Every structure is written in structure tokens, then in C-alpha cells.
Amino acid sequence: MALTAPTGGILGPTEPELRGLAQNLAAHAGRLDQSGEWPVSQLKQCGESGVFRWFVPPKMGGLGWSETDILRGYLRLSASCLTTSFILTQATGALRRVAASGAAATERVLEDLLSGRCLASLGISHLTTSHRHLGRTILSAERCDKGFLLNGFSPWVTGSPYIDLIVVGAELKDGRQILALLPMNSPGISVDPPTQLVALTGSQTGAVRFDHVELPADAVLAGPEEEVLIGATGASTGGLQTSALAIGLADCAISLMEEQSAKRSELAEPANRLRTEQDGAKEDLLSLAMGGEVCSPGELRGRANSLAIRSSQAALAAVKGAGYVQGHPAGRLCREALFFLVWSCPQPVMAANLCELAGLSE
């Protein structure tokens, strides 16, 4: 799974360097899952390896990797440590929105974000899901002399106690929305204790609250406009990157089965069947990234979800009771696979997965 060498500018990780990064992430994935701690050293190594530069054009200090190469990178990293890979999707999602905005704030923070010295995350989930509670917007923006005042909260912010910046979405009274960049030490911003999750607790995901937080006009990245995430440039939520992480997790689970099949021949056929399915999903993922029409992104997401769940459970069955002991990678992979049923999962994909689980699929 070779990566295309970037042309000009700062060099990205070579194949051996990327392999070394992936091996290091894999070596610490189990301990990270057990501790639930923020992966400081893993993210530092990602920054030093140039991972954050994959997503930004060379003229802005990045590497300008193609979507295909980015997905190849995510396939490699998510097969090693899903927690770190998920954090990267949020950090680079914020980075891409900052870089693409052209806002005045970009020049001040971009190089720090690209180098990994500074970390940003997304506070936009309330704009993509049911973001009204009892008829009220949970994070509102009101015009003031200097720009806007923000009040409310963003419920799911990855790395909330550790990030330096947040790309946050808020809604005006007329229904239009804005995206903005704010330092986490801004007066009026506070962080709830992170939520204890079934898996990926090390992502330190929790609510960020805004109490009369002043937002300068030059910190607005997009808007005010209706459905600002549709109009704003930068990475979209979910999409092919989410499928890549599910396919990468399946890769890890199938590798466990393949290790067992070397000792127990009865595991060879199911392991080969799952590997063939995983290879096909990977090929379709990269084809879609290159503009192919082998299937829809939604169809691939449903397949990737299913593959992650089935392959992780197959790995657990293959290693028998050992996999049910706390700390075994098979048990961790089973818990991590459940994440794809709730992370940026469109309703048609959820319906397809439910039908499969209920035995209603054709």
C-alpha cells in the first residue's frame, strides 16, 4: 500500500517512517485503551512525522496529499490504534476548515497546527445532528459590537481538556449559522469532565460550555449562512475517512484471525473470506476517492460498519476465552467496532446495519 511521494515543499513520512509510526501506535494501543489517558506521545510522533501536513496544500506549508493517499494513511494508522486515528480525524478536520477559510485568524495559527505544536478540534456535532432541545438552539450566537456573543454548549468535543483551539458552530436567531475559531482559554469557555465511553475513552471527548464568550469578527471562518457546514470549505463530517477507519480496524481483527489460522486450519476459510471482503472494501474506498462510481459512499459505509463488527467478533471467537479477558486486543476491537454504529452514522446506513443485525437483509 505505497504512498505517492509529495512533490516539492516539506517532505512527508517515507514508507519506513510511516510503518514505524504505525508500529509504535499499535504497541501502545492496548495500554491506551486500559488507561483512558490522552495519547500525548502518540500525537507528538504524528506531528513530528508530518501527518498534519498531509491535509493542506504546499503553498500553505502542507504536503497537499491526495484524498487517496490520505485514506491510505488512515487505513494504516487505524489498523494500529483507533483512538489516536479518531483524534486525528477531529484535529485535521478542524485544521482543514481553518486552512480553507481564508480568515484572518488562519495566518496566526496555521504553522503551529501543521507542526502539531498546537492542537485544534471540532465542536460542530450539534449542527449535524438534532441540535435543538425543547425548541432552543443549544449553542447560540448573538451579534455584538466586536462580533458575536456565544452562549450554550457543544456536546461532543474530542480532546476538550487538552486542545488549544476549537472550531465551533453556533446558530443565530434567524436560523443562520456560523463557524468560528476560538482559543480554549478564552474567557467564558469551560470544559465538562470527559465522558467515559465503551471504547476510545482516551479521546477525552466531552462537552465544552460557552458563557457570554466574545467572538471577534475576524475569528469567523464561515457564515452567517444557512447550513454552514454544507457551504463551508474543508473536510466534511463522516464520509470516506470514517469508512477508512472501520476498514482499518477490520484489517487488524482479520490479522488476529490469520495468526490463529496458522495453528488451527479450521479458521483459514473464514479468515480468507473476511480478508477478501476487506480487500474489496479497501479497493472500493480508494476508487471512490479517485472519482469512481463502484458504489455510493453510503453503501460503502454500511459495508465497512458491518465488516468491522463481524471481523472483530470473529477474532474474539477465534482466540476463544483469552479474548474475553480484559486487555486482550480481540475484546478491545469488539468494543471499538461498536463506535461505528454511532459516529457520524447517516440514517440510511443505520437502517441497513439494523436490518442486517435483525436478519432482515436480503
Torsion sign (Cα): 254, 258, 264, 265: positive
C-alpha cell at 172: 443565530
- Tell me whether strands 220-225 and 165-171 are parallel, antiparallel or unpaired: unpaired
Q: What is the pLDDT of residue 86?
A: 98
Identify the band that residue 168 occupies on the pLDDT scale cut at 50, 70 and 90.
very high
Average pLDDT, the chain: 90
Q: What is the pLDDT of residue 5?
A: 36
Distance CA 6, CA 111 (A): 18
Q: What is the pLDDT of residue 10?
A: 42
Which residue in 333, 338, 288, 229 sits closest to 70, CA to CA? 288
The CATH number assigned to the domain with range 15-119 reads 1.10.540.10
To which residue does cell 471467537 refer? 317
Q: Which amino acid is at 63?
A: L
Which of the residue ranges 62-71, 126-135, 157-166, 196-205 would you say has the lowest mean pLDDT? 126-135
Identify the band that residue 13 occupies on the pLDDT scale cut at 50, 70 and 90.
low
- Whether the pLDDT of residue 237 is over 60: the answer is no
- Whether the pLDDT of residue 334 is over 90: the answer is yes
- Whether the pLDDT of residue 14 is over 90: the answer is no
DSSP 193: P
- Whether the pLDDT of residue 32 is over 90: the answer is yes
Which CATH number, 3.40.50.300, 1.20.140.10, 1.10.10.10, 3.30.750.210, labels domain 239-356? 1.20.140.10
Q: What is the pLDDT of residue 8?
A: 37
Q: What is the pLDDT of residue 362?
A: 58
Distance CA 349, CA 96 (A): 26
Which residue in 308, 286, 318, 306 sits closest to 361, CA to CA? 306
Which of the residue ranges 49-53, 105-109, 245-249, 327-331 would you say has the lowest mean pLDDT? 105-109
The CATH number assigned to the domain with range 121-231 reads 2.40.110.10
Identify the band that residue 348 occupies on the pLDDT scale cut at 50, 70 and 90.
confident
Instruction: Write down the domain spans for the chain.
Output: 15-119, 121-231, 239-356
Q: What is the value of pTM for the model shown?
A: 0.92
Distance CA 20, CA 25 (A): 9
Q: What is the pLDDT of residue 136?
A: 65
Identify the band that residue 251 occupies on the pLDDT scale cut at 50, 70 and 90.
very high
pLDDT digits (tens, 9 = 90+) for 72-100: 999 999 999 999 999 999 999 999 999 99
What's the alpha-carbon Rg for the chain, to the nearest Å? 21
Q: What is the pLDDT of residue 357?
A: 84
Between these two residues, 359 and 16, which has the higher pLDDT value?
359
Tell me the sheet residues that pair with 44: none
Question: In this structure, are residues 97 and 235 in contact, taking their beta carbons and an 8 Å threshold?
Answer: yes
- Whether the pLDDT of residue 124 is over 60: the answer is yes
- Whether the pLDDT of residue 2 is over 90: the answer is no
Q: What is the pLDDT of residue 4?
A: 40
pLDDT digits (tens, 9 = 90+) for 272-301: 999 999 999 999 999 999 999 999 999 999
Please count the other Cβ atoms lying within 10 Å of the Cβ belonging to residue 179: 29
- Tell me whether strands 120-123 and 165-171 are parallel, antiparallel or unpaired: parallel
Q: What is the pLDDT of residue 281?
A: 98
- Whether the pLDDT of residue 178 is over 90: the answer is yes
